[in-house]
Structure 1
Amino acid sequence: MTRRGVICTLRRAVLALLLASGPAHAQANQEDCAPPHRIEWPADRPLWSLCWISPDSSSGIDGSGLELRDVFYKGQRVLRRAGLPLLNVNYDPGGCGAYRDWQSGLMDFETDGILGPPGSRYAEPTKPPRTMCDDAGQAGGNFQGVAAEKTSGQLVLTTQLQSGPYRYTQKWIFRPDGSIDARIAFTARVDPCNVKPHDHHAYWRLEFEIGDDASDYVEAASQNSSAAVSWNRIRTEASSRNDAVRGGTWRIQSASAQRGYEIVSGPDNGRADAWAAADAWVLKFHPDELDDGGARQGPGGSAVQLDRYLNGESVDGANLVLWVHATDRHDGNDRCHFVGPTLRPVGKW
C-alpha cells in the first residue's frame, strides 16, 4: 500500500472511532477550541465568533481544507461546521483524465505576523499574505498554516494547499454586515498535464444551524419572468443545477427564530456539467456524511458521489447541510481566479 493509502486508511479508522463515540464526543472536541483557534472579531465589540481548524487537522477522509466550527454572528449561531471536503480536476478528452485531490496538504506562502514558536500554524498579518495567486504557479514562502488578517472592514482567513502538482489558495472572508465569502483559487507548478485544458471543481459543505430547535428549512429562488423574486420551498432532499435556480440563490431560514441566510453562487462560479453532477445538494444532517464516501484519488479519480445521500428524507424543519459547487476553467493558462459562494444574512439578526 502507498503512503497515501496508509494515511487514508488511518483517517477512516479515526473517523469511525469519532462516529462511534456519538455527538457528545464531537461537541466536546468543539468546546476545547481556544485561542488562537478561537477568533472574536472585531476585538473591541465582537460581531463574529468562530473556531478554525488547520487543513492538516480537518475532518473527512481527504480533509476539508481550512475548516470552520461553531460560527456565530451577533451571538447567534450560523454554522456548526463548514469546509471544502471535495476537490476534483477533470481534463478534456485527450488530456490527462480525472483526478481527485486531498485538502489536508499545507503549502508555503508569505506572511508577516507569525505568532508562537517556530512551526506555528497561526499568523495575524499586518498586510495581505502573498500566495501563489500573486505569483501564479510558483511555490515558496515562510509559513504554513492559517493567517487571520484583521482589519476594520473585514476578517480574512487564508491558507494555501497542495495536492500533487496543484496549488490552491483558500479564504474565508467575514464582514460586519454578516456576509461571508467562501473562496478558492487554483493554479499548479509547471507540469506536462496541467497545461492541457481542464476544469477544477470545488464542493463546499455548509452545515447550518440557524435555530436551536431543528426548525430550519430551505428555499430556492424561482426561475420565472417576474422582476420580484419568489421562492420554492424544498420539502425533501434534492440536488439542482444553478440554471434551474434564479441567480444560483438558495435561502436557509429558521421558522422559530425568523432569521436565516441566502447562499448565492453567481455566474462567475460556472455551472455544473454532467461530470460535476450538480451545483447544490440539500441534505438532512448525518454525522457520517462529512464527504462523499472516499471515492478514488489520483489518476482516474472519480466524480463527486453526493447523490448517494439523496434518499427522500425530509428537510422541512431539520438540521440541514447544503453542498455548493463552483468551477474554474484552465485552458493553457495559469490564471489564479477566486470562485465560491457568498452567504448573506436575512431576517432578525
Structure 2
Amino acid sequence: MRVNRISRAGNRAAVGLSVAALAVGVTSAAGPAAAQPKAAPAAAADCSAAYRIEQKLSTGTTWRMCWRYDTNAGLVLEDISYQPKGEAQPIKVLTSAKLAQIHVPYDDGSVEYDDLTGFGFAQGLMNLAPAECPGGTIKTVKVPDAWDPENPNVKGLCTTTRSRGHAYRMQADTGNRVYQAQGKDLLVYTVNQVGWYEYMTEWRFQDDGTINMNVGATGSLSPGDYDAGDGRGWPIGKGAKAYATSHNHNVFWRLNFGLDGSTKNKVEQYDSVVSAPAQGGEAPRTKTTRTKVTKELAGDAKNMRWWRVVSNTGKNKDDHARSYEIVPGATSKYPGRSYTKHDIYFTDYKKCEQFASHNPRNCGTGAGKSVDKWVNGQTLTQPIVWMNVGFHHVARDEDQQPMPVHWQGFSIAPRDVTAMNPLTPPALADQNGQPDNGR
C-alpha cells in the first residue's frame, strides 16, 4: 500500500538530512580512479563544468556527457560521446538517455503505480555518503519541485570508475605470450526512494564503447502489503500468516540516438533461421536476414533476433557504417497493459512524447498517453528507442531486511564504430581483416 510507503518516505527525510550533514565539505574520496571534472575540449558537450561529466579511463578511452535533473525522469544524460584511443575526435552516440517509466502493477489487481509521472520518483532523490561512491565524486543536484522547498539541494549523483574483469584474453600464436587487459567502466548513478522501495539508476560506460543501463530495486518490502492469499503472494516471517503481495516492475528507458552528430539514423532488424543440413552436409545451416525498419514499430525479442541503429553520416576506418546494437536483458514481459506487451518500440521523434505511460505532455487530440499509441505507421526519420524490461517480484524470506538489490536492464554495444577492438594492444594493431600472405 503506497499510503504507508509515502509516510515512511516523509519520516526518513530527517535521516537523509543527517547523512548530508555528515558529508558537508566531502564531495569525493581520494584515489587514482576518481572521476574528477576536467576542462573540456572544443569537441565536448556544450554545458557548464557543474553539469559536465568527463572521464578518461586508464585503458585510454574517454567518455563525455552533460547531465540535468528532470522533475519526472530524474537524471537525464545528454550529448554522450565516446573517444577510444586512436580516434582523433569524440564519436557522438546519444543525444539524450533517461528512464521513461517504472510501472508497478500488483498481482491482486488492487493497485498499479507509474512511479515516474505519478509518484514522485524524482523528488525522492537520496543523499549519498562518500562510502557509496568509492574513488569518485558526489555532485549536488537541485531537485525541481522538491518535497522540502527550503532544502532542494541533494548530494545525490555519483560518478566513479569500476573494474569489470577481463576485457579480452588471447594466447599468442608463437611463444608463451598472453595478451590480456582488465576492463574499466565509468559508473554514473543515483538512488531515488519511492515509498518503501529505493531505486538505483545505474549507467555504465565501458572502455570498449558499450553502455549498460540498469535499475536496481532495494530498500524494504512494504508491511502494508502482507495480506495476499496463496497464489498471489509468498509467506514472509514465521509460519504462513503474512503473504507479501507479488507485483511487477516494468521499467522503460528512452534513447535518442545522435550517431556522428546526426539524429537522422536508420534502424535495422536481423533474424536468423536454422535449417536442416544440406544433402551431404555435416551440420545445420543458419541464414541471417536483414529487414530495414522504415516505419514505427512495436517489436518483440525472439530467439536469434536483434536490432541496430545505424549512422547516416559516419563510417569507421574500414569504411563501414557506424552503428549500435541493442542487447536486451532478461525480462518477464507483463501482458496486462497495452504498452507493456512489447519489448521495444521505435517511434519517430516528437517533443511531447517523453514517457512510456501516463505521459504528462499534451500530444494533441487522439494521440494517447502511452508509447504503444504512438506507433501508427509514421516513417522513421529521427528514431527514438523505447526499451521495456520487466521483473516479476515474488518475494522471498531473503528479501528482508534490507532487501537485496534485484537488477533489470539492457545494453547497447558498438558495431563497426571502430575498425578494430578499441583496446587492441599495439603489437596486434596490424591484424585487421584478411592477412596479407604476400608480406
Q: If the length of structure 2 is used for normalisation, what is the TM-score?
A: 0.58
Q: Distance in 2 between matches of 1:171 and 1:33?
A: 22
Alignment of 1:52-201 (within 5 A): 52-53=67-68, 57-58=69-70, 63-74=72-83, 75-92=90-107, 94=108, 96-102=110-116, 103-104=121-122, 105-112=124-131, 120-121=140-141, 144-151=155-162, 153-191=184-222, 192-193=224-225, 195-201=244-250
8 Å contact 1:171–1:182 — kept in the other structure? yes
User: What is the alpha-carbon distance in structure 1 between the residues aligned to residue 391 and residue 128 of structure 2?
Assistant: 22
Deviation sequence 1:150-182 (CA, Å, 0-9, x none): 247110112101122221111000111100000
Mapped pair 1:224 → 2:293: no
Q: 1:151 to 1:168 in 2, by over 3 A?
A: closer
Over 3 Å counting, the alpha-carbon distance change for 1:193 and 1:96 in structure 2 is farther
**C-alpha spacing 1:170/1:304, structure 2 compared with 1 (3 Å):** farther
AA aligned to 2:72 is G
Whether 1:305 aligns to 2:370 is: yes
Q: How much has 1:63 moved relative to structure 2? A: 1.8
Gaps of 5+ in 1: 5-29, 123-142, 297-302
Structure holding more strand per residue: 2
Shift of 1:85: 2.0
Closer, same or farther: CA 166–319 of 1 in aligned 2, 3 Å: same
For 1:233, the equivalent position in structure 2 comes to 292
Contact preservation (8 Å) 2:136, 2:161: no
Q: Note the C-alpha offset of 1:319.
A: 1.9
Using the TM superposition, give the Cα deviation of residue 242 of structure 1 relative to its aligned residue in structure 2, in angstroms. Answer: 1.7
- Paired residues of 1:65 and 1:170 also in contact (CA < 8 A): no
Shift of 1:346: 1.0
Quote how far apart the aligned CAs of 1:65 are.
3.1
- Displacement after TM superposition at 1:208 (Å): 0.4
C-alpha distance in structure 2 between counterparts of 1:184 and 1:168, whole Å: 6
CA RMSD of aligned residues (A): 3.0
Contact 1:208 1:321 in 2 (8 A): yes
CA-CA distance at 1:99 after TM superposition: 1.1
Deviations 1:175-197 (A, max 9, x none): 11100000001134342227211
Q: Secondary structure at the match of 1:120?
A: strand
5 Å-filtered alignment, 1:221-300, equals: 221-222=270-271, 224-225=273-274, 227=286, 229-243=288-302, 246-247=304-305, 249-257=306-314, 258-266=321-329, 268-275=330-337, 276-292=340-356, 294=358
Kindly indicate whether the alpha-carbon contact (under 8 Å) linking 1:72 and 1:79 is maintained by their aligned counterparts in 2.
Answer: yes
Amino acid at match of 1:336: V
SS in structure 2 opposite 1:178? coil
CA displacement, residues 23-73 of structure 1 (integer Å, 9 cap, x when unaligned): xxxxxxx966222421222168552111122xxx22xxx622322100011
Per-residue deviation, 1:273: 2.4
Q: CA deviation at 1:332?
A: 2.0
| Secondary structure of the structure 1 residue equivalent to 2:66 | strand
Instruction: Give a deviation string over 1:71-102, Cα, whole Å, max 9, x none.
Output: 0112121100000021110111x254211102
Checking the alignment, whether the CA contact within 8 Å between 2:45 and 2:80 is kept in structure 1 is: no
Deviation at 1:270, TM superposition (A): 3.0
In structure 1, what is the Cα distance between the partners aligned to 2:56 and 2:205? Answer: 10
* Aligned residue identity for 1:280: I
Which amino acid in the other structure matches residue 187 of structure 2?
A: V
- Following the alignment from structure 2 to structure 1, what is the Cα–Cα distance between the partners of residues 187 and 136? 15
Letter in 2 for 1:341: F
* One-letter identity of the residue aligned with 1:256: T
Secondary structure of 1:307's partner? helix
Give the AA of the match of 1:70. Answer: D
Tell me the CA shift for residue 215 of structure 1: 4.1
> TM-score, structure 1 length as denominator?
0.72
Which secondary structure state, in structure 2, belongs to the residue aligned with residue 339 of structure 1?
strand
Matched position secondary structure for 1:311: coil
CA distance in 2, matches of 1:207, 1:282: 10
Number of matched pairs: 281
Cα deviation, 1:229-264, whole Å, max 9, x if unaligned, reads: 433211100112223x635x3200013321010011
Task: Specify whether residues 161 and 282 from structure 1 end up closer, same or farther in structure 2 by C-alpha distance, changes over 3 A only.
Answer: same
Superposition deviation, residue 211 in structure 1: 4.0
Q: Which amino acid aligns with 2:406?
A: H
Q: Distance in 1 between matches of 2:195 and 2:297?
A: 33
Unmatched 5+ residue regions in structure 2? 1-5, 7-43, 84-89, 143-153, 164-183, 227-243, 275-284, 315-320, 361-367, 419-439
User: How far, CA to CA, are the matches of 2:369 and 2:325 in structure 1?
Assistant: 24
Confirm or deny: 8 A CA contact 1:237 1:284 kept in the other structure.
yes
CA contact (8 A) 1:144 1:160 kept: no
Contact 1:270 1:328 in 2 (8 A): yes
Task: Say if 1:224 and 1:271 are closer, same or farther in 2 by CA, change over 3 A.
Answer: farther
Match of 2:387 among 324, 327, 337: 324
Deviation of the 1:209 alpha carbon: 1.2
Residues 269-298 of structure 1 show CA distances to partners (whole Å, capped at 9, x for unaligned) of: 3334242221110011112212247359xx
- Offset, 1:212: 4.0
Provide Cα deviations, 1:109-132, integer angstroms capped at 9, x if missing partner: 44346868xx9349xxxxxxxxxx
Paired letter, 1:150: T
Distance 1:326 1:213, change over 3 A: closer
